[in-house]
Amino acid sequence: MELRLAKDMLPYLTQLTEQFTRYALADVAKMNSSHAMRLYELLCQWRDTGKREVAVKWLRDAFQLGDKYPLFYELKRWVILPAVEQVNEHSPIWVKWDQRKTGRRVSHLVFTFGDKASKKPQTSTSQKRQPKKEASPQGALFGIPRAIIEQNAKPGESYDNAALRLLNESKRKRAST
């Protein structure tokens, strides 16, 4: 199957390579709550800021809760506390949260978060599986010369993404033969 897009679409497609949330699946693999995984994704979107304030209504929509847990106490007990606990336990970030009231009702949640400081070097499974990103003096990434990357790169694709794609394609070819 081949798909061709008009040049008018190129600016929109190139934004996809810049504006997305990236995290290792190993970070959420041990989480058994979909709310914890979604909370982790939301925090990763704002990882550089270290703080995110969201409306309770918006959070209910993001977690796709619908009419479940109509009282804030229930939402807190069954969704927020377990999600925060799992993110703190199983992910490479720590998170704390606080509530902000408008009148007598809790209207917003404020999440404060950051990377966990580790005393020992991290050797997560995601780091073990990915090849080392090496730039040799000749300008090679992942052992692929830059000239080859430039010849085979797709429009709007970064050197890193093109090199990873080429590396994966060569692995697939070797595995199929």
In order along its 177 residues, the chain shows pLDDT tens digits of 887 777 777 666 655 544 445 556 666 667 788 888 888 888 877 777 888 899 999 999 989 998 899 999 999 999 999 999 999 998 888 999 999 998 999 999 999 998 887 434 444 444 445 554 444 445 566 677 777 877 888 877 777 777 778 887 877 777 776
Q: What is the pLDDT of residue 121?
A: 43
Domain spans of the chain, in order of start = 25-115, 131-176
Q: What is the pLDDT of residue 22?
A: 54
What is the number of other CB atoms lying within 10 angstroms of the CB of residue 39? Answer: 27
Residue type, 39: L
CATH number at 25-115: 1.10.10.10
Distance of CA 64 to the CA centre of its chain: 19
Instruction: Give me the DSSP letters along 38-91.
Output: HHHHHHHHTTTTSEEEEEHHHHHHHTT-TTS--SHHHHIIIIIHHHHHHHHHHS
With 0-12 / 13-18 / 19 or more C-beta atoms within 10 angstroms meaning exposed / middle / buried, residue 86 is buried
Strand arrangement, sheet containing 93-102:
51-55, 105-115, 93-102
Model's pTM, two decimal places? 0.54
